[in-house]
């Protein structure tokens, strides 16, 4: 779907949330932010997901990350739904704001429209989308799931840590990487630059090509 994507700046929309009116850029400030949407309140997968997001909120906060939810229902619906979410998640509190978008305008501007799902009145619904936004207000990563498939918060956390490490150093994380495991040094970094950048050193994997591009280090 064309629209807002990786590398684009999040529009500075003024939105109504369960925490009051705010502008997106003001809320993001100098922090990383996870902006995620749900097809609708009082639905099973969305309730489970919001509960998991609440359960992981402290882990995200440790990494300097703010959370911001969104669905097309109104503020009163959100506030009533939160009671169900907290009960289902064994008391995990929903401490982050949830945007209301009953007119379906915000989901269009944030590229969070589900092309197939509609409510009982035929109105568009938001997709199960998630943008990780950097302190520069640019989208660093996006996940997009259909309504039938819930997201994995461990993967969101893993991807976030990868992005934050890559923002500090010229590194990347290989397939199936987990926090604490070695990372790879970007191909744009020469061996001399790598030695200066990484005083702890690195290891190069020998390959048939003899090209020393598989360089691993701990950061």
Question: In the prediction, which pLDDT does 2 show?
Answer: 54
What domains sit in the chain, N to C, each tagged with a CATH number?
14-151 (3.40.30.10), 169-217 (3.30.1020.10)
What is the rounded (10 degree) CA torsion for 165, 153, 116, 2?
A: -10
Pairing of strands 32-37, 65-71: parallel
Beta carbons of 5 and 109 less than 8 angstroms apart: no
Beta carbons of 68 and 96 less than 8 angstroms apart: yes
Measured CA to CA, the distance from residue 207 to residue 134 in angstroms comes to 36
Pairing of strands 20-23, 32-37: unpaired
Question: In the prediction, which pLDDT does 32 show?
Answer: 98
Beta carbons of 109 and 13 less than 8 angstroms apart: yes
Beta carbons of 86 and 94 less than 8 angstroms apart: yes
Q: How much is the pTM?
A: 0.92
Pairing of strands 65-71, 98-100: parallel
Question: In the prediction, which pLDDT does 1 show?
Answer: 41
pLDDT per residue, tens digit, the chain (219 aa), is 458 999 999 999 999 999 999 999 999 999 999 999 998 899 999 999 999 999 999 999 999 999 999 998 999 999 999 999 999 999 899 999 999 999 989 998 999 987 777 777 777 777 899 999 999 999 999 999 888 899 999 999 999 999 999 999 999 999 999 999 999 999 999 999 999 999 999 999 999 999 999 999 999
How many of the other CB atoms lie within 10 Å of CB of 20? 9
Show which residues are catalytic.
46
Count of helices and strands (H, E) across the chain: 6, 13
Nearest CA-CA partner of 5 in 112, 139, 156: 139
Pairing of strands 113-118, 124-126: antiparallel
- φ/ψ region of 90 (left if φ > 0, alpha if ψ in -120 to 50, else beta) reads left
DSSP bridge partners of 212 = none
> Residue 129 class from Cβ within 10 Å (0-12 exposed, 13-18 middle, 19+ buried)?
buried
């Amino acid at each position: 779907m064309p629209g807002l994507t990786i590398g684009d700046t999040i529009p500075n929309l003024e939105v109504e949330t369960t925490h009051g009116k705010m502008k997106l850029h003001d809320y993001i400030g100098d922090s990383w932010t996870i902006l995620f949407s749900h097809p609708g309140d009082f639905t099973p997968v969305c309730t489970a997901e919001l509960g998991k997001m609440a359960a992981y909120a402290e882990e995200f906060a440790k990494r300097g990350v703010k959370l911001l939810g969104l669905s097309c229902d109104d503020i009163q619906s959100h506030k009533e739904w939160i009671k169900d979410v907290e009960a289902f998640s064994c008391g995990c509190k929903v401490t982050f704001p949830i945007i209301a978008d009953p007119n379906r305008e915000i989901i269009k501007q944030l590229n969070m429209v589900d092309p197939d799902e509609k409510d009982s009145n035929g109105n568009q619904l938001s997709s199960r989308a998630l943008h990780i936004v950097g302190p520069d207000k640019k989208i660093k990563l996006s996940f997009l799931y259909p309504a039938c498939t819930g997201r994995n918060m461990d993967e969101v956390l893993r991807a976030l840590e990868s992005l934050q490490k890559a923002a500090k150093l010229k590194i990347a994380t290989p397939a199936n990487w987990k926090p604490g495991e070695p990372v790879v040094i970007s191909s744009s970094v020469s061996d001399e630059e790598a030695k200066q950048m990484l005083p702890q050193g690195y290891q190069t994997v020998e390959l048939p090509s003899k090209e020393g591009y598989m360089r691993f280090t701990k950061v």
